[in-house]
Structure 1
Amino acid sequence: MKKDRKVQRIAKTRSELFEQPLSRKVHRTISLAIVVLLAFVTTARGAALELYPTDFGTASAGQAAMAEDASTAASNPAGMTLLDRSQLTTSPGALLPSTNFDVAPQTTTSGGGGGNAGVFFPLGSFFYVHKLSEQLRLGVAVFSDYGLGGDYGKTWVGRYYATEESLISGKVDPTIAYEVNNWLSVGAGFSFGVARLTFQSKINNALPRVPDGGLSLESWDEAFGGNVGILLRPISKLRIGLTYKSPEDYKFGFRPHLTGLGPGLDFIRKKIGGVKVNVPLTEPQQVMASAVYEVLPNFSLMGDVGWQNWSAFGEFPVGISAANQRTVTANLHFSDTCHIAIGQQFRIGEKWLWSAGFAYDSAPVSTANRNAVLPIDRQLRYGTGILYEINHNITAGTAWELMDAGPGPYSNRRGPLAGTLQGHYSTNFLNFVALNVIWKF
């Protein structure tokens, strides 16, 4: 009798999952592509984990109008015309996250909260501006503006949604700037980016004594984009910067790697073993307006207002390369986001410059549409930093920023194998630390 019930359970599982019309089978396969996308969004976190490579302690406030060092090659190339000499700026650092998930009673899968799922993530940037003439500057920026890693562990209650994920990205931006007159400068550049995406999750084998199986995905891709900027100086104490960054399209392609499938699900390997999932992902376009005003000779205020087109990012075509080619449009119901920041810089004597700032980014997805691997919420950034002028040519300093990524509550129900997952993040903080060196020559 027990053996008969086991056979019936296996048959029922097979029937529920795969003995369906062709269109249902295709949609099951497409769900793997959706998992891939959600894994990417987790690592990138949309606006939540945009890494501002030019932030030296102001929480990004004034980024398009600061133009005080070579990092302006990335934030607003037009600002390069304000640099009186050729300049090299480097900023090595690290991201130190603290991400802890609290399980809600409605969760149906056994397991724990996963501990601190945050993963140490090294950061680094390099900026160079060459003074070609009094009006013309050439620049290059090497940096990462998106990236994160997460590891929830193999016994996490959400292991059938995700266990590990990471996104590593890097960009090279050659730029050029021209000073039209004493109050207007213009600049432009193009961007070449490379990204590596990895994802792992467990698969419920549906039998009590059969260990979980596994799913892993990995893909590399490159993308191109561009940016333009202008810098206005209507009066000597005021700078206004306006920038536009184009969308950048990555086309990740995956062949799912399945391991440890039990007798009831091993036929899945035959169903999707030759399938390739193609997911085009777009880093959204954005517009930023910044201002810096010199209140006193040793004290300045700055601020930002920005917009990012995350609603376009949330709707995309998913391609399935198999015997029957299929393309389906998925929609994660993203919304465009806004960015607001305010900061200050205070010069202490002739050698020291202290910076501080605060920034707010709205959530690109609502609580109703948030997913287990999509815990994006509103973000609050608090930053401070100090620079010291060692001599006429070299300045060095350090910066720290705390980002509160919000509680990210969600409730997911994804079928009998993955179960119901509900909860929120009791801690969802990210610490950015950096060392800054500016060399003028």
Structure 2
Amino acid sequence: MTTTFPVKLAKRLVPATLLYLSLHSSNVLAGGIFIYEAGQESNGLANAGSAALAMDPSVLMSNPAGIALLPGTQISANAQVIFGDIGFSRSSNNQFDGNEGGNALQYLPGASLFISHQIDERSAIGFGMYGNFGLALDYDDDWTGRYFTQEAAVIGVSFQPTFAYRFSDDLSLGIGPRMMLGYYRTEMAIDNSLLGLVDRPDGQLEYKDTDFGMGVNLGLMYQLNPRTRLGFAYTSKVKLEFEDSPHVSDINNPIINAALNRLAVDTLELDMNVPQTATFSVAYQLDDQWTLLSSLDWQDWSEFGDIGVEVDANAADVSRTVDRQYKDTWHASVGAQYQMSKQLRWSFGVGYDSSAVDDKDRTVDNPMGEAWRFATGVNYQVEEGFDLHMAYTLVWLGDMDVEQTKARSGNSLSGSYDNAALHIVGGGATWRF
């Protein structure tokens, strides 16, 4: 599992609030980022060639057909850590007191495990445990955006048994049922001030739950000619349904208490879809040393942005759907591998991801934006059948403006994330038997 779940960016992610009544808490929110990196050697390629390059069993995550090209039995164990530089700066239009929240992403460790086994000349099986969806944010409790979010996390860990078959020397197909264990948590402050006339300490709302969802990874690889391999992979959506009783504490505003008492909330249901994706990749062997790689990718974030919410009460059943105005994204990347010697291979790549939100729709629970990836890594063959690898990726988000307004009070949280970035460092080992 790569608990970098997030990536997205990850993210971040999803505060939920109870009601759409006269509470000062925000609407139910959701978000995230795919993380292409799971500690594997291809981390150093910025996702270039991910669906066409079969180097080790981690390929089953990006294209399950790839394990049909791997001889014998192979095991890849990996670990990585994400360091963040995501800090909020207030603008002159900000109407909330409090500090700027600090660095919302300090670090997030993760791990992954992949196994493949060649059954015969045509077929292979494999298994992967990894996380490539989600991230987490943690602001200071008394920051200026505390009524929107203080902590937010959505994490998905995937378990994927895989089968691949070579129909010919050129064509391989693979399928992998994807079982995802999802975890969601959100925490935010509730404004106890009475109509802005009486200043009282904040209350608190916390919501957390886990759920299990199912999807499928499909892929094919085709050897176009001795130097060129094409790959196509599709990942279906995974639906997660979180259901829990929100925990609300320290509420001493009589208006909020009256609303809670009338509604007598028992359960809040929060549904979200991990987006489906489609990836097309090309790997071209220029010569004995150089391999050139590229990828194009589509992600269905528009459906993830429609969040279904139900609040079951003793007196009535209240439901609402909130559209976060998410839109589909695309990814493009190019990279190369250079076989420096028999033992040492160098990888590098550059990638671009479009933003799932327009600037006007960005929120502090999930400050998504367009992202550039700059990656590099090395693989070293220690001995026959045993490799070590390390990689580094810079995910550059740049400057992201935020203008978020409370529906009831009309107060605005205004500011920006300047020079936002993620640093992903990973490494691992591959054994071949």
TM-score by length of 1: 0.88
CA 1:387–1:103 in 2, change beyond 3 Å: closer, same or farther?
same
In the TM superposition, residue 315 of structure 1 has moved relative to its aligned partner by: 2.1
1:314 is matched with 305
In the TM superposition, residue 50 of structure 1 has moved relative to its aligned partner by: 5.6
Residue pairs, 1:146-295, within 5 angstroms: 146-207=133-194, 208-264=198-254, 265-295=256-286
Residues 1:85 and 2:78 are matched in the alignment: no
1:366 is matched with 358
1:109 is matched with 96
Whether the aligned pair in 2 keeps the contact of 1:51 and 1:147 (CA below 8 Å) is no
Larger radius of gyration: 1
2:82 is matched with 95
Question: What is the alpha-carbon distance in structure 2 between the residues aligned to residue 213 and residue 326 of structure 1?
Answer: 23
Question: What is the alpha-carbon distance in structure 2 between the residues aligned to residue 249 and residue 301 of structure 1?
Answer: 36
2:119 is matched with 132
In the TM superposition, residue 103 of structure 1 has moved relative to its aligned partner by: 0.6
Residues 1:121 and 2:111 are matched in the alignment: no
CA 1:263–1:229 in 2, change beyond 3 Å: closer, same or farther?
closer
TM-score by length of 2: 0.90
Q: Which runs of 4+ in 1 moved over 4 A?
A: 29-33, 49-54, 415-418
SS at match of 1:409: strand
CA 1:29–1:136 in 2, change beyond 3 Å: closer, same or farther?
farther
Whether the aligned pair in 2 keeps the contact of 1:319 and 1:326 (CA below 8 Å) is yes
Question: What is the alpha-carbon distance in structure 2 between the residues aligned to residue 292 and residue 98 of structure 1?
Answer: 33
Question: What is the alpha-carbon distance in structure 1 between the residues aligned to residue 388 and residue 134 of structure 2?
Answer: 25
Give per-residue Cα distances to partners, 1:51-77, cap 9 Å, x unaligned.
556533111111101111111121111
Give per-residue Cα distances to partners, 1:307-328, cap 9 Å, x unaligned.
1111111124322222322333
Unaligned runs of 5+ in 1: 1-24
Whether the aligned pair in 1 keeps the contact of 2:152 and 2:365 (CA below 8 Å) is no
Whether the aligned pair in 1 keeps the contact of 2:71 and 2:117 (CA below 8 Å) is no
Residues 1:34 and 2:34 are matched in the alignment: no
In the TM superposition, residue 32 of structure 1 has moved relative to its aligned partner by: 6.4
Aligned AA (1:28): L
1:385 is matched with 377
CA 1:31–1:134 in 2, change beyond 3 Å: closer, same or farther?
farther
1:339 is matched with 331
Residues 1:406 and 2:406 are matched in the alignment: no
Aligned AA (2:185): T
SS at match of 2:44: coil
Instruction: Say which structure is richer in helix.
Output: 1
Question: What is the alpha-carbon distance in structure 2 between the residues aligned to residue 51 and residue 148 of structure 1?
Answer: 13
In the TM superposition, residue 360 of structure 1 has moved relative to its aligned partner by: 0.5
Question: What is the alpha-carbon distance in structure 2 between the residues aligned to residue 124 and residue 421 of structure 1?
Answer: 36
Whether the aligned pair in 2 keeps the contact of 1:381 and 1:404 (CA below 8 Å) is yes
Give aligned-pair identity as a percent. Answer: 27
SS at match of 1:73: helix
CA 1:228–1:139 in 2, change beyond 3 Å: closer, same or farther?
same
In the TM superposition, residue 256 of structure 1 has moved relative to its aligned partner by: 1.7
CA 1:50–1:423 in 2, change beyond 3 Å: closer, same or farther?
farther
Q: Which moved more, 1:58-67 or 1:273-282?
A: 273-282
Question: What is the alpha-carbon distance in structure 2 between the residues aligned to residue 295 and residue 220 of structure 1?
Answer: 47
In the TM superposition, residue 381 of structure 1 has moved relative to its aligned partner by: 0.8
SS at match of 2:60: helix
In the TM superposition, residue 413 of structure 1 has moved relative to its aligned partner by: 1.1
Question: What is the alpha-carbon distance in structure 2 between the residues aligned to residue 26 and residue 151 of structure 1?
Answer: 23
Q: Which moved more, 1:366-375 or 1:192-201?
A: 366-375
SS at match of 1:121: strand
Question: What is the alpha-carbon distance in structure 2 between the residues aligned to residue 301 and residue 63 of structure 1?
Answer: 12
Whether the aligned pair in 1 keeps the contact of 2:88 and 2:415 (CA below 8 Å) is yes
Unaligned runs of 5+ in 2: 1-17
1:11 is matched with none
The size of the alignment, in residue pairs, is: 410
In the TM superposition, residue 117 of structure 1 has moved relative to its aligned partner by: 1.1
1:431 is matched with 423
In the TM superposition, residue 158 of structure 1 has moved relative to its aligned partner by: 0.4
2:319 is matched with 327
CA 1:418–1:197 in 2, change beyond 3 Å: closer, same or farther?
farther
Question: What is the alpha-carbon distance in structure 1 between the residues aligned to residue 320 and residue 24 of structure 2?
Answer: 11
